[in-house]
């Protein structure tokens, strides 16, 4: 390995991408023996900086200069995948596999693209091929868990995630899946997310998820206390009862359901204060609390899916405008 190659490798490992690009980009046009390795690290650095259009352009130039190096096709497919251009990525990765059918990483990318296209049965076949070439790769197993979940078998998906974490307890992808699929309590989720961020403080997904939980434990108790004080005022006849109180409680349920240890006692207190229930009808209170919790959970999850779809559309539009 030449000194230039070693230096570029070290700069990449240290994540000094701007410094790396200053050295590698001139070498890409140099037509020297370092040109190939310069293209390689230039593309990798641009991907890390999320400068995907530039990375794609360099991959095309690299493939034109080194048509026998099929890993540049892999870079193209990966960049398209990262840009949410999954149909284009699928075409490139299929071309790649036609030229190099026995590379496990290429089959893994094929599976990931098919997951994005929601073609889960085909994705399962692709990840099985990748695992037949390397049965112990943790990234492959994470993708297998994702596919298994989408095929409707969450318990097996969680078993796969658990097996990964037993061998690699700090694997970020497995930890994310564990917090999303296999952990229902927010306290446990926050503990897992803190573990992710301790290992990688720049994990955006982990930061956003942890901030969401922290916001919940700040906002939800404040909303609950405000509503209970209002309900207490109605119970003590400090002001007239409102016909909109039950509707406000229903709207609150869409948010506060996330931790049942907070939400169920809140609903029970709300019903006790607002329901004018006599002692021999006490069973109405827990039944009503459970019903509001279930309705709130369903409504909250539906709203979450809607907001997630809106956010996805917004980000796709933003990426399209920046192209």
* Domain assignment present for 27: yes
Q: What is the mean pLDDT of the chain?
A: 87
Six-digit token pair at 149? 């979940």
pTM of full prediction above 0.75:
no
pLDDT, position 213: 85
* Domain assignment present for 226: yes
pLDDT, position 280: 66
Residue 234 has pLDDT above 60, yes or no: yes
pLDDT, position 1: 58
Instruction: Report the distance separating Cα 292 and Cα 263, nearest Å.
Output: 9
Residue 19 has pLDDT above 90, yes or no: yes
pLDDT single digits (tens) 110-126: 999 999 999 999 999 99
Residue 15 has pLDDT above 80, yes or no: yes
* Domain assignment present for 72: no
pLDDT, position 151: 92
Residue 320 has pLDDT above 70, yes or no: no
* Domain assignment present for 198: no
* Domain assignment present for 102: no
pLDDT single digits (tens) 138-186: 999 999 999 999 998 888 999 999 899 888 887 878 888 887 787 767 7
Six-digit token pair at 10? 């070290």
* Domain assignment present for 208: no
pLDDT, position 184: 66
| Helical H segments across 170-322, by residue range | 172-177, 186-199, 204-235, 245-256, 260-274, 284-322
Instruction: Report the distance separating Cα 109 and Cα 88, nearest Å.
Output: 13
Query: In Å, how far are 101, 244, 245, 246, 251 from 275, measured between CA atoms?
Result: 67, 14, 11, 10, 18
What percentage of the chain exceeds 70 in pLDDT? 94
For residue 20, what are the domain limits?
A: 1-66
* Domain assignment present for 236: yes
Q: Which of the listed residues 50, 66, 82 is the one where a domain comes to its end?
A: 66
Residue 322 has pLDDT above 60, yes or no: no
* Domain assignment present for 302: yes
Instruction: Report the distance separating Cα 269 and Cα 231, nearest Å.
Output: 9
pLDDT single digits (tens) 63-114: 999 988 999 999 999 999 998 899 999 999 999 999 999 999 999 999 999 9
Q: CA angle 277-280-281, nearest 5°?
A: 45
Select from 304, 296, 215 the least CA-distant residue to 248: 296
Once rounded to an integer, what is the mean pLDDT over residues 202-223?
Answer: 85
pLDDT single digits (tens) 242-267: 888 888 999 999 999 988 889 999 99
pLDDT, position 319: 58
pLDDT, position 33: 83
User: How many domains does the chain contain in total?
Assistant: 2
């Amino acid at each position: 390995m030449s000194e230039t190659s070693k230096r570029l490798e070290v700069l990449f490992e240290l994540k000094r991408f701007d410094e790396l690009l200053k050295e590698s980009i001139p070498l890409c046009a140099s037509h020297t023996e370092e040109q190939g390795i310069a293209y390689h690290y230039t593309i990798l650095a641009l991907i890390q900086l999320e400068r995907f259009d530039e990375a794609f352009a360099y991959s095309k130039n690299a493939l034109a200069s080194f048509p026998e190096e099929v890993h540049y096709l892999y870079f193209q497919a990966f960049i398209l995948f990262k840009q949410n251009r999954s149909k284009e990525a699928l075409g490139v990765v299929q071309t790649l596999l036609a030229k190099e059918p026995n590379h496990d990483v290429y089959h893994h990318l094929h599976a990931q693209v098919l997951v994005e296209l929601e073609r889960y049965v085909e994705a399962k076949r692709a990840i099985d091929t990748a695992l037949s070439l390397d049965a112990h790769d943790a990234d492959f197993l994470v993708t297998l868990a994702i596919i298994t979940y989408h095929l409707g078998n969450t318990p097996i998906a969680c078993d796969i995630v658990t097996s990964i974490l037993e061998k690699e307890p700090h694997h970020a992808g497995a930890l994310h899946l564990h917090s999303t699929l296999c952990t229902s309590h927010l306290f446990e989720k926050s503990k897992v997310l803190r573990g992710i961020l301790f290992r990688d403080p720049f994990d955006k997904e982990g930061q956003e998820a942890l901030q969401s939980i922290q916001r919940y434990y700040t906002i939800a108790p404040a909303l609950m206390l405000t509503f209970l004080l209002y309900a207490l005022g109605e119970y003590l006849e400090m002001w007239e009862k409102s016909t909109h109180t039950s509707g406000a409680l229903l709207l609150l349920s869409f948010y506060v359901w996330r931790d049942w240890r907070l939400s169920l006692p809140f609903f029970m207190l709300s019903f006790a204060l607002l329901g004018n229930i006599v002692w021999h009808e006490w069973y109405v209170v827990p039944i009503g609390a459970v019903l509001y919790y279930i309705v709130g959970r369903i409504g909250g999850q539906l709203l979450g899916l809607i907001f997630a779809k809106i956010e996805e559309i917004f980000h796709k539009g933003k990426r399209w405008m920046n192209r």
